Amino acid sequence: MAFQYIRITKPAEFVAHVELNRSDKLNAFIPQLWVELGQAFTQLSTDSDVRAIVLSGAGERAFTAGLDVVSAGEWMGEMANLADTARRTTYMRRHILGMQASLTAIEQCEKPVICVMHGVSLGMAVDIACCTDVRICSSDTRFAVKEVDIGLAADLGSLARLPKLVASQSWVHEVALTARDFNAAEAQAVGFVSRVLPNKAAALAYGLDMAATIAQKSPVAVHGTKELLYHGRNHTIAETLKYTAVWNASAIQCDDVQAALMSGMNKTKPRFAKL
């Protein structure tokens, strides 16, 4: 699949690098961008040549500035022309569900995703980062759950996911209700990002290095780990334990366990079959 606003490269074996690629507009989101983003992760999910993914924004100034307001004005206008409230509501509900589905494709991607943020990271930046496994950023990153400032509750996932990702609900409610900026240090203090690097280059290097580490592990083990972590986020402990037993009872019957144990003893690097 060829993308216009998404760039996918392979900087190391089994590692994919996905970039939001509309840097002249601070990677602001138009419909084609989020559709391509969803397609990219759906495709990578079962790409047996990929075992870990880094997601970042092209250009020096922004991970993303969020929704492109010019574009948003267009489909808001389309909605306004409809017959009555119920029909406008139906239009918008389908629209929001479609946008959510594009972002959820990142979370549902079978491969772990490391999000590397820098510069302007507003609105959809937080929605997207919440769909990834590990979040790191450069020290210049400026975050905000910005939606309240444009008269909206955030509807692409920040309100659903952010509270489950960090330490302090008092902090979450404060930044969501005031729409105020927060910086890299504050993001790390509450656990939103788990590492801050001096600049974008260093953050990207760190993220790619982590991806390379993960890509050298058994893909069966890595996929199972991601799957079970997400299962746990949405289920009781008892349910996840049972699901885990069913999952692993089969997954354990792979050649990777033997290969990993052998490599451990022989101090060699194991090779795993494609998944």
Residue 185 touches its own copies, criterion: CB under 8 A? no
Residue 46 touches its own copies, criterion: CB under 8 A? yes
**Of positions 147, 196, 197, 200, contacts its own copies by CB under 8 A:** 147
- Shorter beta-carbon distance to its own copies: residue 19 or 127: 127
Measured distance CA(79)–CA(252) in Å, rounded: 51
DSSP letter assigned to residue 24: G
Residues 208-227 that bind its own copies (CB under 8 A): 210, 213-214, 217-218, 220-227
Least distance to its own copies, CB of residue 162, Å:
8
Residues 79-118 that bind its own copies (CB under 8 A): 79, 83-97, 100, 104, 112
Residues 232-261 that bind its own copies (CB under 8 A): 232-238, 240-261
Token reading at 228: 């079970």
46 and 110 Cβ atoms separated by less than 8 Å: yes
50 and 14 Cβ atoms separated by less than 8 Å: yes
Residue 271 touches its own copies, criterion: CB under 8 A? no
**Of positions 4, 9, 49, 152, contacts its own copies by CB under 8 A:** 152
Sheet with 113-117, side-by-side order of all strands: 6-12, 15-20, 52-57, 113-117, 134-138, 195-197
- Shorter beta-carbon distance to its own copies: residue 59 or 115: 115
Return phi, psi of residue 49, to 5°.
-90, 0
**Of positions 60, 74, 78, 149, contacts its own copies by CB under 8 A:** 149
**Of positions 15, 18, 193, 203, contacts its own copies by CB under 8 A:** 193
What does the DSSP assignment read for 133-177? SEEEEETT-EEE--GGGGT----SSHHHHHHHHSS-HHHHHHHHH
- Shorter beta-carbon distance to its own copies: residue 6 or 254: 254
How many amino acids of this chain bind its own copies (CB under 8 A)?
A: 111
